[in-house]
Amino acid sequence: MSVKEFFQIKELPFNNAPDLKYFYSSKPHQETLTRLRHVIENRKGLALVTGQIGTGKTTLARLLFEELDPQQYETVLMIVVHSEITSEWILKKICTQMDVENIPTDKPGMLTALYKRLYELNEKGKKAVILIDEAQMLKHRDVMEEIRGILNFEDEFGKLLTFIFFGLPELETNLSVDEPLRQRVALKCELKQLDFESTKNYIMHRIKVSGAKYNFFADDAYRSIFEASGGIPRIINTICDNAMFESYLIKGKVIKKETVDQVVNDLGLLAL
One domain, residues 179 and 74:
yes
Q: Do residues 258 and 180 share a domain?
A: no
Whole-number average pLDDT of the chain: 94
- Would you say 265 and 242 are in contact if contact means Cβ atoms under 8 Å apart? no
Residues 84 and 215 in one domain: no
- Best-predicted range by mean pLDDT among 12-21, 129-138, 262-271? 129-138
Say yes or no to pLDDT of 129 above 50. yes
108 and 130 both lie in a single domain:
yes
Give percent of the chain with pLDDT exceeding 70: 99
Return the SS3 of 76: strand
CATH number for the domain harbouring residue 72: 3.40.50.300
196-242 residue pLDDT tens: 999 999 999 999 999 999 999 999 999 999 999 999 999 999 999 99
- Judgement on whether residues 180 and 257 belong to the same structural domain of the protein: no
Number of domains in the chain: 2
122 and 215 share one domain: no
Domain boundary among 143, 159, 191: 191
For residues 177 and 67, membership in a common domain is answered with yes
Count the residues in the chain.
272
**What pLDDT is stored for residue 272 in this prediction?**
46
Quick: pLDDT tens for 72-83: 999 999 999 888
Tell whether 14 is covered by a domain.
Answer: no
C-alpha to C-alpha distances, 251 to 1, 225, 236, 265, nearest whole angstrom = 11, 20, 22, 20
Q: C-alpha angle with apex 3: 257 to 219, nearest 5 degrees?
A: 25
Based on the domain organization, do 204 and 164 belong to the same domain?
A: no
Q: Which pLDDT does position 271 carry in this prediction?
A: 53
d(CA 89, CA 119): 22
Pairing type for strands 158-159 and 187-191 reads: unpaired
* Residue 69 confidence (pLDDT): 95
Whether 76 and 163 share a structural domain = yes
Q: Is residue 177 part of a domain?
A: yes
Asked if residue 17 belongs to a domain, the reply is no
Last residue of a domain, one of 168, 191, 214: 191
Least confident of 144-153, 211-220, 263-272: 263-272
236 shares a domain with 208: yes
| Residue 43 located in a structural domain | yes
Give the model confidence (pLDDT) of 165-196 as tens digits: 999 999 999 998 889 999 999 999 999 999 99
Percent of the chain with pLDDT over 90: 87
| Residue 154 DSSP class | E
Domain range holding 226? 194-267
Report the distance separating Cα 109 and Cα 7, nearest Å. 59
Q: Does 12 reside within a domain?
A: no
CATH code, domain with 202: 1.10.8.60
> Which stretches of 93-241 are assigned E, i.e. beta strand?
127-133, 154-155, 158-159, 161-167, 187-191
Task: Please indicate, yes or no, whether residues 235 and 146 belong to a single structural domain of this protein.
Answer: no
- Runs of H (alpha helix) within 157-270: 170-175, 179-182, 196-209, 221-229, 233-249, 257-267
Q: Is the dihedral of CA 97, 153, 146, 141 positive or negative?
A: negative
Q: How far apart are CA 126 and CA 119, in angstroms?
A: 10
